[in-house]
């Protein structure tokens, strides 16, 4: 598979003779997916990257499971963590946006704290999501050099369209195009859609897929999460947000 060429070049000559090479390559790909999901936008990033590097279903399933399950733990634990650190509403929102994987999870972790936290968290998270296009484009170019006949991403995979929708909605609301009478009903609809998004994340999880990856991959994913949280706390504290 083309992805093996890009991410495991040192194993090419061994793959025909050494047992377990395929498992090692798969573990690397799962770790790579987890890194994309952790640093950008969870399952959306994994789904966007997967076809570019030619990953198979089992690798994608394991990565999505890691992203969704760890995301739930972060959503549940982060409010307590923010309380222990005595963060302001703005600081907590920034921390949530910097650490949580998916936008619905950011909303779930911040709306229970305050509307300010939710707004700041969503804004910070959307800035992270903007990295999706450059990452997918960079991977596509690297993959094309390694395998000229590889899959090239479409415009739909390079542009996170929900960000475009967010900007359009924000401009419309700020410009007074959206009637004030519609704001409250739209908020209720947005809440219901957020609940559906969280349910969809749960339905995408196949816990059995986690059993098929090695402990080294699990350790790498957990370590990356710990680093993200630590760096985010230091950043929020250092620049004195809020």
Could you read off the pLDDT of 141-188 as tens digits, one per residue? 776 666 555 556 566 655 667 667 777 887 888 888 888 888 888 888
Q: Work out the pLDDT band at 204, boundaries 50, 70, 90.
A: low
pLDDT, position 97: 92
All residues at 6 or more sequence positions from 16 whose CB lies less than 8 Å from its CB, including other chains:
none
How many other C-beta atoms lie within 10 A of the C-beta of residue 3?
26
pLDDT, position 19: 43
Please give the DSSP secondary-structure letter assigned to residue 1. -
Could you read off the pLDDT of 40-89 as tens digits, one per residue? 877 777 777 777 776 666 667 777 777 777 888 888 899 999 989 889 99
Least confident of 16-20, 28-32, 66-70, 146-150: 16-20
Q: 7: number of CA atoms within 13 Å, CB side?
A: 23
- The stretches of 85-206 forming alpha helices (DSSP H) are 89-99, 103-110, 115-129, 132-146, 155-158, 161-174, 180-203
**Taking Cα atoms as reference points, which of 147, 193, 122, 106 lies closest to residue 5?**
147
Q: Average model confidence (pLDDT) for the chain?
A: 75
Percentage of the chain exceeding pLDDT 70? 69
- Return d(Cα 157, Cα 44) in angstroms, integer: 10
How many other C-beta atoms lie within 10 A of the C-beta of residue 205?
19
- Return d(Cα 165, Cα 103) in angstroms, integer: 14
pLDDT at residue 124 tops 80: yes
pLDDT, position 2: 45
By 3-state DSSP, what share of the chain in percent is helix, strand and coil, each rounded to 5? 80, 0, 20
Give me the residue spans of the domains in the chain.
2-238
Higher pLDDT, 9 or 56: 56
pLDDT at residue 132 tops 50: yes
3-state secondary structure of 149: coil
pLDDT, position 4: 46
- pTM equals 0.69
Could you read off the pLDDT of 105-123 as tens digits, one per residue? 898 899 888 989 999 998 8
């Amino acid at each position: 598979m083309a992805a093996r060429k890009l991410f495991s070049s040192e194993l090419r000559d061994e793959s025909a003779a050494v047992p377990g090479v395929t498992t090692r390559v798969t573990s690397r790909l799962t770790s790579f997916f987890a890194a994309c999901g952790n640093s950008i936008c969870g399952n959306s990033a994994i789904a966007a990257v997967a076809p570019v590097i030619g990953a198979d279903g089992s690798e994608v399933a394991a990565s999505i499971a890691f992203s969704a399950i760890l995301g739930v733990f972060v959503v549940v634990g982060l409010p307590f963590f923010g309380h222990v650190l005595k963060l302001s509403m703005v600081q907590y929102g920034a921390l949530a946006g910097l650490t949580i994987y998916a936008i619905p999870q950011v909303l779930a972790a911040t709306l229970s704290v305050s509307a300010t936290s939710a707004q700041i968290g969503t804004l910070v998270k959307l800035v992270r999501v903007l990295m999706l296009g450059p990452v997918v484009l960079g991977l596509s170019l690297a993959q094309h050099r390694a395998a000229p006949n590889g899959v090239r991403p479409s415009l739909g995979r390079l542009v996170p369209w929900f960000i475009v929708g967010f900007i359009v909605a924000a401009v419309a609301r700020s410009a007074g195009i959206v009637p004030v009478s519609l704001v409250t009903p739209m908020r209720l609809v947005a809440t219901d859609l957020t609940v559906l998004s969280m349910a969809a994340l749960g339905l995408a999880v196949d816990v059995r897929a986690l059993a098929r990856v090695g402990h080294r991959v699990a350790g790498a994913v957990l370590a990356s999460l710990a680093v993200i949280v630590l760096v985010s706390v230091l950043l929020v504290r250092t620049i004195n947000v809020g």
